[in-house]
A = this chain, B = another copy of it.
Amino acid sequence: MQMPEPRREVLDRAPHILQRLEAALPGGIITDPTETRAYECDALTAYRCPPLAVALPRTTEEVAAILRICHAEGVPVVPRGAGTSLAGGSLPTADCVVLGVARMNAVLETDLPNRLIRVQTGRTNLSVTGAVEAQGFFYAPDPSSQLACAIAGNIAMNSGGAHCLKYGVTTNNLLGVTMVTMTGEVIELGGGHLDAPGYDLLGLICGSEGQLGVVTEATLRILPKPEGARPVLIGFDDSEVAGACVSDIIRAGVLPVAIEFMDGPCITACEAFAKAGYPACEALLIVEVEGSEAEIDQQLAQITAIARRHDPVEIRESRSAEESQRIWLGRKSAFGAMGQINDYMCLDGTIPVSALPMVLGRIGALSDEYGLKVANVFHAGDGNMHPLILFDANTPGQLETCEALGAEILKLCVEAGGCLTGEHGVGVEKRDLMTHQFTADDLEAQMAIKDVFDPHWLLNPAKVFPLSVSASRREGGGLRGAA
C-alpha cells in the first residue's frame, strides 16, 4: 500500500511537538512503541504503520486543543473510532497523530418524547441501544461489528447493517453532531429538530471518512422496538435463482427488515463452524419481517408464496425464539467461519437489486478466471454485496491476485449501475478505484469541498482520493491557500 512520504519537517521537530501535546493532554498521549502497536492498523490488518503518537482525549475541548496544536505544527491527524474499519479508514501515517475517541463514551442526554439520544462518539453502536432498550427503544443501524464499533466510525463511513433495508443507514438516523475542524473550531450541525435551514452540512459530514472534521458528539434518532420479528430460511439449488427471488420480493412491494444471502461455499463453511442446521444447497436466503403476530404471518405468507414459484429446496419458517436464533446463527458467524479455514478479503460493493442474478453469474466466471474461490454473503435486499475472496496469504502472489480480482468485482458493480462501497467506505483500500466511479469533474468537486474544511489536507491523509490526484492538493495547501 503506497503512502505519501512522511513530512520531514514534522519528523525533525517530533520532540517539540510531543512536548506540546503532552502539556495539553497530560496522561492522554501515548508514544511508547509497545503501546502504540495496537493503533498501527485497523481491521484491514494487511496494512500497518506506527504513528508518531496516539492522543486519547475525553472531551470536545481536549479534541480542539490537540487539533489546534497539530494545525499550528503542520502535523497530519488520523481520527480513529474503535479501529474496526475494513477499508483501512484509520490507517496511520508515520508522521501522524492518531486521535482516538475510545475514552469518550458517555451518554449525554436521553430524550424519549423527542425520540433521540445524544452521546459522545466513542460509544459503541450496541451500547447506544443498551442505554434505551429498557424503555422499549433501539438504535437502528446494526453493522456486523456493532459490539465493538464506535459511533464515530459509523458516522465517518455512513455504516449500514443487516436491517438497513427498512431503517436506512447512519445518515438516515443521525440528527446532529458536534464537530471540531482541523483548525480547532467547534461547530454544531443539525440538532434535535427536523431538517435545518441553509445547506445540509450534516449530511455532507456523514460518510466523509474523517476528512472534514472530528465528530465528538452525536444526536441519534432512536425508534420504538417492533412488537415482534421472525425470519424464514429459504434454500435454492442455484444462486442466480435465489437472486431472482430477492428481486421478485422487492418488486411485489413487501418490505422485510432484512434479506440476507449466502451462497454454497459460504453455507458449507458456516455449517462446519456454527452447526446451525442449514440445508445443503447452493444458496440460502434469510428473510426477516417485523410487526404484530398477524402482520408477520401475513407478510411471511406473501414471501413464501413468491419463493415457491422459484422451486426452493427448502422453506423453513421459525416457530419459536430458539428457531429464529438458529436461523440467524450461521449468518452471524459467517465471517468468523471463513477466517477459520482461509484468509479472506471482504468486498463491499452495491448493485441495483434487479442486477443480482447477472452479477452473481459474472462473479462466478471471474472466480474461475482468477483461480480463487469467492463466497458470497450479503445484504441482498438493498443490493449491498459482501463477496469474500478466499486466498492463502502464505502463498507468494496470492494477495496480489486477490486484490486484482477484488478490483474486477468492484468495477463490475459500478458497470451494473451500483457503486464501490455500501458501508465500509473507501479508505485506502478503494481510493484508486474512485476514478472508475467518478469523472475528473466529480472528483474535483469533492476535493474542493475538502479544501474548504481542511485547506492543508492534514486530516486523515491519503484516503478516499487516488494519491495521484490528491498529492498536488496536499503540496499546494489546497486551492484556497493558507486560508
Q: Name A residues whose Cβ lies closer than 8 Å to a Cβ of B.
A: 111-115, 136-137, 158, 160, 164, 168-169, 171-172, 185, 187-189, 191-201, 203-204, 206-208, 212, 223-225, 247-248, 250-255, 291-292, 294-295, 298, 350-354, 382-384, 417-423, 425-426, 430, 434, 437-439, 441-443, 445-446, 448-453, 464, 479-480, 483
Contacts and interface: CB of A to CB of B under 8 A. Distances in A.
Contacts of A192: 352, 417
Contacts of A350: 193-195
A211 B253 CA distance: 36
Nearest to A293: B294
A160 to B, nearest CB: 7
Q: Which of A196, A212, A464 has the most CB of B within 10 A?
A: A196
Given A160-B194, A198-B464, 20 more contacts: A111-B352, A112-B251, A158-B195, A164-B194, A172-B172, A187-B445, A192-B417, A194-B422, A195-B421, A198-B434, A198-B442, A199-B446, A200-B203, A200-B206, A200-B208, A201-B446, A225-B253, A291-B295, A295-B295, A449-B449
Nearest to A449: B199
A247 B113 contact: yes
5 contacts: A114-B353, A115-B353, A188-B442, A200-B208, A201-B204
Contacts of A194: 160, 164, 169, 350, 382-384, 418-419, 422
Given A203-B204, A255-B224, A439-B187, A423 B195 contact: yes
A351 B480 CA distance: 37
Give the copy number: 2
A350 to B, nearest CB: 5
A251 B113 contact: yes
A115 B248 CA distance: 11
A295 B227 CA distance: 11
Contacts of A223: 255
A446 B205 CA distance: 13
A426 B169 contact: no
Contacts of A248: 113
Contacts of A450: 199
Most buried by B among A193, A247, A423: A193
A191 B353 contact: no
Nearest to A427: B197
B203 A352 contact: no
A439 B208 CA distance: 23
Nearest to A225: B253
A161 to B, nearest CB: 12
Contact of A254 (B206, B224, B351, B479): B224
Q: Which 9 A-B residue pairs are closest in the complex by CB-CB distance?
A: A224-B253, A203-B203, A113-B354, A113-B251, A193-B418, A448-B452, A294-B294, A194-B350, A193-B350
